[in-house]
Chain A
Amino acid sequence: MIELAKYLLRRFFWMLLTVWIVYSVSFVLMRSVPGNPFSAERSVPPAIERQLRARYNLDAPILQQYTDYLKGIVTRFDLGWSIRLEDYSVNQVLAEGFPVSASLAIFALVFAIGLGVTAGVISAVYRGSTLDTSMMVTAVLGIAIPNFVLASLAILLFVFLIPVFPAAGWGTLRQVALPALCLGLPVAAYIARLTRAGMLEVLTRDHVRTAYAKGLPKRTVILKHVLPGALLPVVSYLGPATASVLTGSLVLEKIFALPGMGSHFIYAATQRDYTLAMGMVLTYTVLLFVMNTLVDIAYAVIDPRVKLQ
């Protein structure tokens, strides 16, 4: 337990350091790209632009902007007012978008793990059969096809040909189904391949042969003696999988008109919404850091040989 607490503390320190570096780099990058938050097709008169700069503290010396904004984040968790969505503070934007993205990511991951592991186990157990081949071909396709193509196909199939799901929008379980499916499928495909490989490796181990020799039923051997070991690569993949589910939702959010965080990420960058872009980058940094830490802990839980460092 103490070992774990120490580990978490250390990770927390590293996270702060990472966030600070990410903050600094983003701050510099954001301000060195051409254009500014107030550029528009109808150019804003200089007097008005000056007023707007003052409102968002963009008229202060650059170093002071850097420290003022950082101070706000550290002391009050205040990411400032969004410049382009000016009725909202960045915190409000995050508070509205995060639950949607999180909910979508959870469904996609649950779906991906459920489908991927099942398919992987079946493939490995019936290795060489037609079932195995067809599932693995599907998995390769699933990895290769980008999720927006998948989304278009899914819409064609499940909205227009067999009308079971609504075309887009957010608010009901039926509306989540298609985007979660499209988001989770490539991850499921990858997990299926990882599970199959892991299973095949463990199936040849001595302890499995012993288990069979003891006369244990096949089902018990697979579930109790093979699967835990075979899942290790899957667990380590969950970190990157979360990342890909979170970032992959950018495209799907547009196709399915979902009010998640992903679309803000793109718009904040293209519209030079300095504060919102910073808020997004920092949120994703923290999120990925936390997910990776959890994966490391999970690794140690599953495999006793792994030490947390």
Chain B
Amino acid sequence: MAVQTRRFLLMVAGVVAFAAIVWASRFDALPPAEMSFQNFSDPKTLDPHRATGEPESRLIFSLFSGLLEMLPEGAPDPDTGLQPMTPQPALASHFDVSDDRKRYVFHLRPGIQWSDGTPITSADFVWSWTRMLHPTTACEYNFQLFSVPFAEEYATGTVTEGDRVEVELWDRPGETEGNEPNPQAFPRGTILYGTLIKIRKPPPPELAEDASEGERADAEATWTEQWVYDIELARAAEDGSVNWNDVTETRSFVVDPSSPEADQSTTRVHGVLVAFDKLGGMEAPDPETFIVNLKNPLPYFPSLVAYYPLYPVPRHVVEEHGMPMWTKPENIVTSGAYQLDLRRLRDRVRLRKNPAWYNADEVKIELIDAMSMEGQNTALNMYETGQIDWVTDPPAALMDELRKRDDFVSAPQLTVYFYRLNTTRKPLDDRRVRRAIAMAINRKQIVEEVMKAGQTPALSLVPPGIAGYESPPGLVPDLDEARRLLEEAGYPGGRGIPKMTILYNTSEAHRAVAEVIQQQLQNNLNVKLELQNMEWGSFLDKVTQEDYDVARAGWVADYSDPNTFLDMWVTDGPQNNTGWSNKQFDGLIRDAASEADPVKRMALLSQAETIWIEDMPVIPIYFYVSLNIVSPRLEGFAPTPQDKHPIHLLRFREAGEARP
């Protein structure tokens, strides 16, 4: 290399290095927020119809409002300190329920607005619920609306001959006949309504015997797209209502135009679904009234309405920007106490008070940071140095110390930790073995020596603390009985019992619990278990494929009702994964769903739980407690059964006390 080149490059290197240092030292520092808290991981999304976990829910409950909202009501429980939460009017000022508990009339507050000033009307609810259920939205909580007629058929895309259906033509923005579909399902293409008279199906695909479940599902889906639908189109009136008997013409529609059943006159469409929003499940007689007609008298329907998947989303913004761009801070429009100011990955989501909220005067904190922070010690360090005011996930290793502190807020929570048993494998297919194992576990030792945060031993499935529900007497731990059962099952003294493995996802806490149980069963029953830990994705795969003996799990209440813990164990339920099936149990759950009398319904659920305890397809281990560390300068924070803490209720003890 020539000397000049070398000198030149040396200079370039110097300049670049200097520039890099200057660039790296430039920070655009954010003004500090008044209050900030640990929000665990990054929110997956801020779309209420797509979100699931805890971090998302804390933000969405602050950003959006529903007809009803879960808010504290009444005095805290004197024993546990739990603050009861009930669904209370929010965007709706009040609601009426019919005597048969199937018809809910919600009256919206006058003058409610989105944060950009657009009025919120009953039509927003009709549209939002339709979007929530629409198959392409793929909302994981869509089952929460399945008590509305035709909601389930709409969400799953089930149509049968004779149904009143909607047809979405292939004319979404940018679509022409024969080109690629526009992936944005909203705004929708032209919708036609009519009665489905016939489905013409080509011959079903033939699959090899050994085809996997996934291959079968794919082939089935491809085949369904080739179905040709003959529909008698009905006339839709100006006001959106459909006169189903006024038939204008009969046309045929298909999703995949290459279908052998399709001909020249067949029109390509996005899909044929039941006309959910035209069939009386929801009514919007005027902009301030929203009516819901249910199939079954669901006693906890108000709780569902107060849960975010049923909150309205701003149609004008979703249709303009599409999914997921509408959730960006520059686009999003909200209906809740806060609006989205800033969102930085792995850093924070900044909330700013929404002056257009109906109850804005009650919101005392202007600017809040939800810090995306998973490190337990990091969060505690930041709390100790005054950088954050609320720790949602305190370090387990310091529990002994933390529990003694005044700012440690903890109470029983509607969450259960349990071990699934694979009831299709020997020896766990024998109820006696399952019960023997469940009886021989010393849960007290686990909660006191391993968990240490005040968890309570679980001997039944449903955690205590649900109003109106009393769990049946749980399993009675009894070593002699356990040994007797094992002997009766043909394994006297644990001899001859096949080798079993406890599967858990990699985590210190899960390992510690599994080790204690392993030792207890070895000592008490002479049953030998192996431990196997797996990283989360692989673990879930094993569990869903029922390729395990014993697998750990936890379940958080979706709503404050025993059904949320019980209905997952019905035969072939998507969350069951134990192979357990009990017709009597299934029947009781079904009966409870259609029972109008709340007392009788709880009795049915209690019977179902009794059967579950008798059969023990799953071993309950302990009930969780919520764990929070909250700065003494904040008030309005109370322990609640689902560990939900409406952020707009928080305020500083002394008015105007901001961060020092």
Contact = CB atoms under 8 A, between A and B. Distances in A.
A257 B382 contact: yes
Given A96-B345, A102-B24, A168 B387 contact: yes
Contacts of B29: 171-172
A43 B346 contact: no
Given A87-B324, A270-B536, A255 B378 contact: yes
Given A258-B346, A304-B1, A87 B9 contact: no
A226 to B, nearest CB: 18
B537 A301 contact: no
Contacts of A301: 1, 6, 9-10, 13
Interface stretch (B46-54, B117-125, B167-175, B512-520): B46-54
Contacts of A220: none
Most buried by A among B1, B372, B387: B1
A26 to B, nearest CB: 16
B375 interface: yes
A52 B544 CA distance: 18
Given A34-B541, A42-B140, A171-B29, A106 B536 contact: no
B540 interface: yes
B212 interface: no
A297 B9 contact: yes
A43 B575 contact: yes
B574 A45 contact: yes
Interface in B33-66: 42, 44-47, 50, 52
A159 B381 contact: yes
Given A106-B21, A254-B378, A41 B387 contact: no
B345 A97 contact: yes
Interface stretch (A9-17, A181-189, A240-248, A259-267): A259-267
A216 B140 CA distance: 78
Contact of A166 (B138, B346, B387): B387
B347 interface: yes
B221 A257 contact: no
Given A171-B29, A259-B346, A263-B346, A4 B135 contact: no
A72 B536 CA distance: 30
B474 to A, nearest CB: 24
Contacts of B387: 166-169
Chain B CB within 10 A, most for which of A42, A155, A173: A42
Given A256-B378, A304-B6, A86 B27 contact: no
B217 A50 contact: yes
Interface residues of B, number: 67
B382 A167 contact: yes
A257 B375 contact: yes
A196 interface: no
Interface residues of A, number: 68
Nearest to B343: A87
Contacts of B50: 86
A44 interface: yes
Given A42-B140, A171-B30, A96 B385 contact: no
A298 interface: yes
A160 B92 CA distance: 49
A283 to B, nearest CB: 15
Interface in B529-543: 535-538, 540-542
Contacts of A161: none
Contacts of A171: 27, 29-30
B574 A254 contact: no
B20 interface: yes
A212 interface: no
B327 interface: yes
B553 A254 contact: no
Contacts of B139: 48
Interface string B205-235: 0000000000001100100000000000000
A131 interface: no
A85 B138 contact: no
Interface in B3-22: 5-6, 9-10, 13, 20-21
Given A171-B30, A270-B535, 19 more contacts: A34-B538, A34-B542, A35-B537, A36-B541, A39-B537, A39-B540, A42-B140, A43-B574, A51-B135, A93-B345, A103-B24, A106-B20, A167-B378, A169-B371, A169-B387, A253-B346, A255-B377, A255-B378, A301-B9
Interface of B: 1-2, 5-6, 9-10, 13, 20-21, 23-25, 27, 29-30, 42, 44-47, 50, 52, 135-136, 138-140, 142, 155-157, 183, 217-218, 221, 324, 327-328, 344-347, 371-375, 377-378, 381-382, 384-385, 387, 535-538, 540-542, 544, 553-554, 574-575, 577
Q: What 5 A-B pairs come out closest when comparing CB atoms?
A: A35-B537, A167-B381, A259-B347, A259-B346, A51-B138
